[in-house]
Amino acid sequence: MVPELGHFALILALLLAIVQAVFPLAGSLSGNRPWMVMARPLAFGQLTMLGIAFAALVQAFVTSDFSVLYVTQHSNTVLPDIYKVSAVWGGHEGSLLLWVLFMAGWGAAVAVFSRNLPLAVLARVISVQGMIAIGFLLFMLTTSNPFERMFPVPQEGRDLNPLLQDPGLAIHPPMLYMGYVGFSVAFAFAVAALIGGRLDAAWARWSRPWTTLSWVFLTIGIMLGSWWAYYELGWGGWWFWDPVENASLMPWLVGTALIHSLAVTEKRAAFKSWTVLLAICAFSLSLLGTFLVRSGVLTSVHAFATDPSRGLFILLFLCVVVGGSLALYAWRAPEVSDGGRFHFVSRETSLLANNLLFVAFTVLVLFGTLAPLIYEAFGWGKISVGFPWFNKMFLALAPFLALVLGLGPALRWKRDQPMRLVRGLWWALALSILVLALSYLPAFSGGHVWVPVGLALAAWLTLAHIAVVRERLRNKGGLTKRGPALLADLRGGGRSFYGMVVAHLGVAVLVVGITLVSNLQQEEDVRMSPGDSHEIAGYRFEFLGVDPVPGPNYMAQRGHFKVYRGERQIDELYPEKRAYLGGGMPMTEAAIDPGLFRDIYVSLGEPVGDQGDWALRLYYKPFVRWIWLGAILMALGGVLAVSDRRYRIARAPARQPVRQPVQGPATDVTAAA
Amino acid sequence: MNARQKRMLLAGAGVIGVGVAAMLALSALQSNIAYFFSPSQVQAGEHPTDAVFRVGGLVVADTLKRQADGLTVRFDVTDNAETVPVSYTGILPDLFGEGQGVVAKGRIGADGVFHADEVLAKHDASYMPPEVADTLKTAHADGIVEDTAEGLKAAGQTVTR
**Distance from C-alpha of A257 to C-alpha of A282, rounded to nearest angstrom:** 9
Query: How many C-beta atoms surround the C-beta of residue A55 within 10 A?
Result: 15
Looking at residues A455-467, what average pLDDT do you find?
95
Is the pLDDT at A212 greater than 90? The verdict is yes
How far apart (Å, rounded) are the C-alpha atoms in residues A103 and A49?
12
- Say what the pLDDT of residue A471 is: 86
pLDDT at A583: 63
Q: Which residues of chain A are within 8 Å of residue B32 when distances are taken between CB atoms?
A: 385-386, 388-389, 392
pLDDT tens-digit map of A487-503:
777 777 788 899 999 99
Checking if the pLDDT of A148 tops 50, the result is yes
Report the amino acid identity of residue A665.
P
Shortest Cα distance, chain B CAs vs residue A305, angstroms: 5
Residue A225 has pLDDT above 80, yes or no: yes
pLDDT at B29: 85
What interface predicted TM-score (ipTM) does this complex get? 0.76
- Note the pLDDT of residue A13: 96
* pLDDT for residue A401 is more than 90: yes
How many other C-beta atoms lie within 10 A of the C-beta of residue A401?
18
Judged by DSSP in three states, A611 sits in coil
Q: What is the mean pLDDT of residues A451-474?
A: 92
Q: Does residue A327 belong to the interface with chain B, where contact is any CB pair within 8 Å?
A: no
Is residue B51 a contact partner of residue B31, using CB atoms and an 8 Å limit? no
The candidate with the shortest Cα–Cα distance to B31, out of A470, A392, A96, A405, is: A392
Confidence grade of residue A306 (pLDDT, cut at 50, 70, 90):
low
Cβ atoms of residues A193 and A127 within 8 Å: no
For the ranges A218-232, A332-346, A376-390, A463-477, the lowest mean pLDDT is seen at: A332-346
Contact A303 B36 (CB under 8 A): no
Q: Higher pLDDT residue, B91 or A576?
A: A576
Mention every residue, 6+ apart, whose C-beta is less than 8 A from residue A386: B32, B33, B34, B52
3-state helix, strand and coil shares in percent for chain B, rounded to the nearest 5: 25, 30, 45
Closest CA to A596 of A571, A634, A624: A624
* pLDDT tens-digit series, residues B21-49: 888 888 888 888 888 888 888 888 888 88
CA distance A233 to chain B (A): 7
Give contacts of A 462-521 with B, CB under 8 A: none
Residues of A in contact with B52 (CB under 8 A): 386
> A54-63, A134-143, A158-167: which has the minimum mean pLDDT?
A158-167
Residue A7 phi/psi, 5-degree rounding, is -60, -45
Nearest residue to A311 (alpha-carbon basis) of A327, A324, A298: A298
Q: What's the 3-state SS for A228-240?
A: HHHHHCCCCCCCC
State how far Cα A30 lies from the chain centre. Answer: 38
CA-CA-CA-CA torsion sign (A216, A219, A225, A230): negative
Q: Please state, in angstroms and as integers, the Cα–Cα distance from residue B52 to each residue in A269, A511, B34, B49, B120, following that order.
A: 51, 31, 6, 8, 15
Pairing of strands B83-89, B114-121: parallel
How far apart, in whole angstroms, are the C-alpha atoms of residue A129 and residue A43?
A: 9
Q: Roughly how many angstroms between the first and final C-alpha of chain B, as a whole number?
A: 57
Apex CA A639: angle with CA A287 and CA A635, to 5°?
60
Amino acid at B88: Y
Question: Which of A317, A311, A308 is closest to A292 using CA atoms?
Answer: A311
Please judge whether A588 and B32 are an interchain contact, meaning their C-beta atoms are less than 8 angstroms apart. Answer: no
| Facing residue for B153 by CB, picked from A90, A234, A585 | A90
Please, what is the average pLDDT of chain A? 86
Tens of pLDDT, residue by residue over A415-439, are 888 888 888 889 999 999 999 999 8
Residues in chain B: 161
Which residues on adjacent β-strands are paired with residue A557? Answer: A548, A577
- State residue A431's pLDDT score: 94
Q: pLDDT (tens digit, 9 = 90+) per residue, B53-107?
A: 988 888 888 888 888 777 888 999 988 888 999 999 888 877 787 777 888 889 9
Q: What is the pLDDT of residue A78?
A: 84
| pLDDT for the residue numbered A124 | 94
pLDDT at B149 over 60: no
Mean pLDDT of A523-535: 89
Omega of the bond leading into A24 within 30 degrees of 0 (cis): no
Distance CA A481, CA A473 (A): 9
Is the pLDDT at A479 greater than 50, yes or no? Answer: yes
CA distance readout (Å), A334 to A194, A254, A273, A326, A573: 11, 22, 8, 12, 63
Q: Cα–Cα distance between B36 and B42 in angstroms, integer?
A: 10
Nearest CA in chain A to B32: A386
**pLDDT of amino acid A299:** 52
Per-window interface: A 167-226 vs B, CB < 8 A: none
Burial A343-354, CB ≥16 within 10 A → b, else e: eebbbbbbbbbb
Q: What percent of chain A has pLDDT over 90?
A: 47
Query: Would you say residue A455 has pLDDT above 80?
Result: yes
- In terms of phi and psi (left: phi > 0; alpha: psi -120 to 50; beta: otherwise), the region of A664 is left
Backbone torsion region of residue A307, taken as left when φ is above 0, otherwise alpha when ψ lies between -120 and 50, otherwise beta: beta
Closest CA to B56 of B5, B141, B113, B119: B119
The three-state secondary structure class of A31 is coil
Name which of A88, A240, A306 to mutate to probe chain B: the one with the most chain B Cβ atoms within 10 A of its Cβ: A306
pLDDT in tens, A550-560: 988 888 889 99
Contacts of B70 in chain A (CB under 8 A): 527, 608-609, 613, 615
Written as one string, the DSSP assignment of A60-97 is HHHTT-TTBHHHHHH--TTS-HHHHHHGGGSBHHHHHH
Structure confidence at residue A654 (pLDDT): 41
What is the distance between the terminal CA atoms of chain A, rounded to a whole angstrom? 47
pLDDT reading at B145 higher than 60 = no
Is the pLDDT score of A666 beyond 50?
no
A305 CB within 8 Å of a chain B CB: yes
Other beta carbons within 10 Å of A579: 17
For chain B, say whether A70 makes contact (Cβ under 8 Å): yes
Residues 6+ apart with CB under 8 A from B30: none
CB of A240 within 8 Å of any CB in chain B? yes
Beta bridge partners of A203: none
- CA B54 to chain A, closest CA, distance in angstroms equals 8
Q: Which among A73, A389, A605 has CB closest to B150?
A: A73
The residues near A598 (Cβ < 8 Å, ≥ 6 apart) are A537, A620, A621, A622, A623, A624
Distance from CA of B111 to the nearest CA of A (A): 25
CA within 13 Å, CB half, A418: 3
Across the interface, do A382 and B32 touch by the CB < 8 Å criterion? no
What pLDDT, in 10s, does the model give residues A607-644? 887 788 888 889 999 999 999 999 999 999 999 999 88
Residues of B in contact with A243 (CB under 8 A): none
Most confident of A13-17, A66-70, A309-313: A13-17
pLDDT at A608: 82
**Sequence-separated (6 or more) residues with CB below 8 Å from residue A50:** A9, A10, A13, A97, A100, A101, A104
Q: Which residues of B touch A311 (CB under 8 A)?
A: none
Q: Global pTM?
A: 0.88
Residues of A in contact with B123 (CB under 8 A): 163, 301, 303
Which residue is closest to A588 within chain B, CA to CA?
B94
Ranked by mean pLDDT, the top range of A211-220, A234-243, B147-156 is A211-220
Residues in contact with A379: Cβ distance below 8 Å, sequence separation at least 6, in sequence order: none
Residue A258: which pLDDT band, with cuts at 50, 70 and 90? very high
CB pairs under 8 A between A and B: 152
> Quick check: helix, strand or coil at residue B74?
strand
Residue A114 has pLDDT above 80, yes or no: no
- The answer to whether B95 contacts A583, with C-beta atoms less than 8 Å apart, is no
Q: Span A404-419, mean pLDDT?
A: 88
d(CA A593, CA A275): 44
Q: What is the C-alpha radius of gyration for chain B, rounded to an integer number of angstroms? A: 21
Q: What is the pLDDT of residue B140?
A: 45
Looking at residue A234, its pLDDT comes to 67
Calculate the alpha carbon distances from A203 to A193, A207, B17 in Å.
Answer: 7, 6, 33
Task: Give the Cβ contact number of residue A15 at 10 Å.
Answer: 13
pLDDT score at A338: 61
Q: Quote the CA–CA distance of A472 and A497 in Å, as a whole number.
A: 10
- Min mean pLDDT across A340-344, A384-388, A656-660, B34-38 is at A656-660
Q: What is the pLDDT of residue A499?
A: 93
B34 to A583: CB separation less than 8 angstroms, yes or no? no
Residue A663 pLDDT > 60, yes or no? no
Q: Centre a 10 Å sphere on the Cβ of residue A367 and count the other Cβ atoms it contains.
A: 17
Residues 6 or more apart whose Cβ sits within 8 Å of residue B95:
A585, A586, B121, B122, B123, B124, B156, B157
Tell if the CB–CB gap between B157 and A384 is shorter than 8 Å: no
